[in-house]
Amino acid sequence: MIARGREAVFLGVSLAVIYTLLITGADAITKLFSTNFAAPQMFALSGGLVALFCLAAGHKSAATRVLATRCPRIMALRAAATVIGTCAFFYAFKLLPFAEVFLFIAIIPVLAALLSRVMLKESAGGQVWGAMILGVLGMAALFQDGVDSFGAGHFVAFLAVAMGAVSMVASRYIGQRDPGGLLSQVFYPNLALMVVMSAALPFVFVPMGWLDVLWVGYYAALLFAARWVLVAALKLLPAYVVTPLMNLQFLWMVAIGSVAFGERTGAGVFLGAALMIAAGAWLVWDQVRIHAPKTAVPAE
């Protein structure tokens, strides 16, 4: 029994690490693609591919597993936030150094914890506000030269963060009320992404070679695989164990930014990343503390 438990932990940790590699690979393709093409050209195709992957994954009962949802309005909100956030992140990757974007990705759970108070009526205690302050300090590390260092890339990254937090909280809302609707949460946002980007595509289309089409296919496959690997990891390990492991993404982003894009990561980014990781760990610790089993006091 103990051996099986250890195997499950090892497998869960391995899957969490694999997730960080997959999602970082998808982000790297986004940055690469953004140098020559506009967002609609990438996401019209990739959104459709991911939607098809969802249908294929639930082909035996597609009507109930993929197309059905008990929360259509919140699903529409999640889809809209996904479309806006995905496009914003696309241009953030285009305008900012690769590793720098991690600081914005890392603050999403902190913002989501605050939004949960509004959307889910969940209480945001002092621990959440403390983590938020730490996260703000982490973001401030990027702007050591003051407001003058704030550019268009930072603006779209902040927009992406806000939409990512809305999407995350909407996902939690749907998950609480429709636990069997996992595929629908992936299907509808990507379907919306395909439809909206297809409408904009004629205005920005640039001829693509087969290699470019393959890159988009790789991106869609990596994104879909990352989502499923994360779900598998969360089945084996608690979320408070998986979440800190996901911060390994920063290391991969620094490495890929250096090797693939010739970027040098400054000390401010490392400091900001450390503060953001600490803010996320603070939230994780708060959840562990809240849900820790109470030790029974023996009778005198």
Residue 229 and residue 266 in contact, taking contact as beta carbons nearer than 8 Å: no
Residue 49's pLDDT is 94
For residues 20 and 294, give the distance between their C-alpha atoms in angstroms, rounded to a whole number: 34
Residue 290's pLDDT is 58
Q: In this structure, which long-range contacts are made by residues 93-97, counting pairs with CB atoms below 8 Å and at least 24 apart in sequence?
A: 93/27, 93/30, 93/31, 93/34, 94/31, 94/34, 94/35, 94/153, 95/151, 95/152, 95/153, 95/156, 96/153, 96/154, 96/157, 97/257, 97/261, 97/263, 97/265, 97/269
pLDDT digits (tens, 9 = 90+) for 225-252: 988 888 788 777 766 567 667 778 888 8
Alpha carbon of residue 174 to chain centroid:
17
pLDDT digits (tens, 9 = 90+) for 30-64: 999 999 999 999 999 999 999 999 888 877 655 55
- 291, pLDDT greater than 60: no
pTM for the model: 0.82
Tokens 């949802």, residue located: 69
**Whose CA is closest to 41, among 197, 235, 191?**
197
77 pLDDT band, cuts 50/70/90, is very high
Q: How far is CA 84 from CA 35, 136, 156, 185, in A?
A: 19, 23, 10, 16
Residue 205 and residue 41 in contact, taking contact as beta carbons nearer than 8 Å: yes
Residue 122's pLDDT is 66
300 pLDDT band, cuts 50/70/90, is very low
